[in-house]
């Protein structure tokens, strides 16, 4: 059983999608053993507690500097025996110290088709504002191994069409429903069942099924 630690900052709808997928058998061989938020008010922490999952806040404000914060976060993940770290709306850049401790064991969900609309400053609603401002007709979501800010090998992507009257909020919701809440649980299931390999910086998935 793969022990998954989920890092969150806000509402936690992606966390909920993971918990639901475990409950209904869409994710097998994995359990969420820890949820950490940098934000004490994150509703995601409540979602974890309702599932009787250890939920803790580790905020940069509790520490003298960024390095101490990073050390505390890493220590918590290691103490809990987490084997896969899932960034599910975690709006903190993962430092090299943590990336190196979990090689190809950190995945992130990003609300665009990487390499579009990603990197520093592209998070949450801003991603959708920028996609609408650029006038793209298609956006989507990406799950990738995380080696910094929206870098690292891509595991799954799903496209979502943009309508002319979309607002950032409406588009955000559609990308979540049609893409994020599907591909994040799917990626965890593939990893938990040993079907994901990184070869020469790219992901190979056993029995990869291209959905039309
Ligand atoms: C999601 O849309 C996620 O893709 C995005 O934050 C939202 C969190 O929602 N993440 C990023 O922008 C990371 N760069 P949630 O808390 O309801 O899952």
pTM beyond 0.75: the answer is yes
* Strand order across the 84-87 sheet: 54-57, 30-37, 2-8, 84-87, 106-110, 138-145, 154-161
- CB of 140 within 6 A of ligand 1: the answer is no
Rounded Cα distance between 103 and 106, Å, is 7
pLDDT score of 212 more than 60 = no
Averaged pLDDT for residues 142-151? 92
Using the mean position of ligand 1's atoms as its centre, give its distance from the Cα of residue 14 in Å.
7
Q: Which two tokens stand for residue 98?
A: 């943590």
Rounded Cα distance between 193 and 179, Å, is 21
Residues 116-126 have pLDDT tens digits of: 999 999 999 99
Residues 5-27 have pLDDT tens digits of: 999 999 999 999 999 999 999 99
Using the mean position of ligand 1's atoms as its centre, give its distance from the Cα of residue 9 in Å.
8
Residues 152-166 have pLDDT tens digits of: 999 999 999 999 999
Distances (CA, A) of 139 to 12, 18, 114, 187: 21, 22, 9, 19
Q: Torsion angle of alpha carbons 85, 90, 93, 94, nearest 10°?
A: -10
Rounded Cα distance between 96 and 119, Å, is 16
| Nearest protein Cα to ligand 1, atom 16 | 12
Rounded Cα distance between 58 and 180, Å, is 25
């Amino acid at each position: 059983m793969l022990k998954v630690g989920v890092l969150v900052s806000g509402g936690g709808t992606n966390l909920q999608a993971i918990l639901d997928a475990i409950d209904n058998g869409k994710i097998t061989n994995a359990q969420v053993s820890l949820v950490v938020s940098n934000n004490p008010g994150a509703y995601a922490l409540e979602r974890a507690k309702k599932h009787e999952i250890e939920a803790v806040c580790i905020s940069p404000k509790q520490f003298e500097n960024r390095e101490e914060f990073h050390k505390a976060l890493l220590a918590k993940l290691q103490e809990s025996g987490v084997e896969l770290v899932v960034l599910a709306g975690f709006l903190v850049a993962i430092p090299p110290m943590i990336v190196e401790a979990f090689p190809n064991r950190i995945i992130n969900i990003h609300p665009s088709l990487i390499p579009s609309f990603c990197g520093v400053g592209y998070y949450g609603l801003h991603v959708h504002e920028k996609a609408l401002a650029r006038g793209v007709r298609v956006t989507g979501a990406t799950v990738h191994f995380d080696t910094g800010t929206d870098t690292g090998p891509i595991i799954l992507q799903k496209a979502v069409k943009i309508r002319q009257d979309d607002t950032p909020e409406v588009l955000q919701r559609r990308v979540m429903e049609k893409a994020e809440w599907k591909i994040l649980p799917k990626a965890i299931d593939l990893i938990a069942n040993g079907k994901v390999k990184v070869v020469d910086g790219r992901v190979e998935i056993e029995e990869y099924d291209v959905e039309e």
